[in-house]
Amino acid sequence: MLTDAFTPEVKSDSLILQGQVLTLADLGAAVRRQRPVKISADPQLAEQLKKSVELVAKAVEEGQPVYGVTTGFGGMADNAVPASLAGELQNNLLSFLAAGAGDPIDARHVRGAMLLRANVLLRGCSGVRLELIQRLIRFLEVDAIPVVRDLGSIGASGDLIPLATIARAICGQSACVKVQHGERLKSGPQVLADLNLAPLQLLPKEGLALVNGTSFSAAIAANATNEARQLMALTTATQAMLMRSLLVNEQPFEAFVQECKPHPGQVWSAKVMRDLLAGFTNSARAPDAQVQDRYSLRCFPQYMGPIAEGIAQVQKVVETEMNAVSDNPLIDCENGTFYQSGNFLGQYVALAMDDLRRHIGLLAKHLDVQIAMLVAPPFNGGLSASLRGNDERSCNMGLKGLQICGNSIMPLLTWYANPLVQHFPTHAEQFNQNINGLSWGAANLAWKSVQLFQQYSAVSLIFAVQALDLRSHALQGHYDGSSLLGDMTRPLYEAVCHTLKHKPNPQQPLLFDDADRWIEQDIESLANDIKEHGPVWQAVRPILNSFDDSFGIA
């Protein structure tokens, strides 16, 4: 079974494809099946596609040397292919690319790849019939998702093997192709029969146009970036809750400080933290407290700023690649020229995903430092060790186990932050692909990093609520931690309590005696809420809106 934990909420407005610019938000709604996808009925689109197909046919008829149309592929491009075999060449392309390995990838990635491929093919630079693009969208309409494996692409000639799996499915080339259609796993030809579609023989250039491009890597990168944006916002709000629990000195977040070092990310991070901390004054700081906090508190804007700028840059790169025509050769229908080129190289996506994983690792590391201070009485401003709820019961250990769990995740996130792109094989495919993008591997690692960070975020939220409850009791004599929060931060506290089925209780914190809650279930509940964009995600939506406004993201 493909992993797809989301319940569709279909919106009435369709996403109309016409080769136009798609955003991360467009793709996110489509892959979650919250927004139906349709192809524009504009006759100019159909005419442009027809013209590109005719140019390919003309080149074949005249025996023009066009890569992958009248020649072999890659290192075998010196093999001339006669006109009589030009169609068979394309169908055979799908056969020899049936070489994927590993486990099935998330259905959202496959949906995203189908959507992006359909959209860029509509540009009319690739030489494919409208019928092929319609089949991609038809499969999306009925949620018939080819089973694509997670190993097999080096991001050099695009994502050849993964995209070929989709192509075989929509053409009905082989019964070996599996398609998840609703709750059932079917063969590709069986799905075509269910949709009253006949198997389709490819025309010259069409197979190459379907498989030669970065649409799959870009789709995974887009999904990872969408989730990373959310996790950045959630981390920022969680930090505010932890800072409130640690009786933070808010002076480092003042506007004057940022004006003296006006990096855009630093300015934004400080402004957001001021907003998140507004509504409650830490008048309880001990008279003998240090005049300034430790770095993890005091340097938040300087630490978070470059991460925010980096994620904004990653988003811009990914959105550009999502909308790129990246197959080879490209067809200029205006002057009838075929351009043998290299838009299929996934380097932009790969470097962006290496960067994204580094940013995620840094976000986790900062949370881990904050939690380490929070559980240690010498550093937490008088809270109990390991945030133990009932101090009168000496065998209580509080959130000690939860910290160990977090400690097991955080090193993995920083390990995933290591770069992949520089490790490309120089000998690939008869030395034709002697530089590689590795976008597929980098994007898949980013997705794994996102999934790990969703788990770590759940851990950190439990710490945040427990700490706020204990601090509230120390300051005000009751355990309702929301009383320490302002209007922008309180919704997250309430969303966490709602997800954990914990009604704030003036008499007890989230965890009083160790056996009161099954923390493992709490982590799972919060992680699922984060994955599914539930109440916890909704609570931090204003931070994302602020991020988009500050960095000029549509």
Q: Find the radius of gyration of the CA atoms of the chain.
A: 27
d(CA 120, CA 162): 17
Of the candidates 353, 360, 338, the one whose C-alpha atom is nearest the C-alpha of residue 441 is 353
d(CA 18, CA 488): 39
Q: In Å, how far from its chain's centre is CA 281?
A: 37
Q: Are 167 and 213 in contact (CB under 8 A)?
A: no
DSSP alpha helices (H): ranges in 63-129?
86-96, 107-121
d(CA 276, CA 270): 10
CA angle 192, 195, 200 (to 5 degrees): 40
DSSP 399-432: THHHHHHHHHHHHHHHHHTS--GGG--TTBTTTT
Q: Are 450 and 531 in contact (CB under 8 A)?
A: no
Strands (E), 68-159: 101-104, 144-146, 149-151
Judge whether 456 counts as a catalytic residue: no
Q: Which amino acid is at 253?
A: F
3-class secondary structure per residue, 275-297: HHHCCCCCCCCCCCCCCCCCHHH
Token output for 116: 């992006």
Token output for 440: 């597929």
Show Cβ contacts of residue 112 under 8 Å, excluding neighbours closer than 6 positions: 27, 30, 31, 218, 219, 220, 222, 223
d(CA 437, CA 433): 10
Number of neighbouring beta carbons within 10 Å of residue 546: 17
Show Cβ contacts of residue 183 under 8 Å, excluding neighbours closer than 6 positions: none
d(CA 164, CA 129): 17
Token output for 59: 């080149």
Of 67, 348, 416, 493, the catalytic one is: 67
The residues assigned a catalytic role are 67
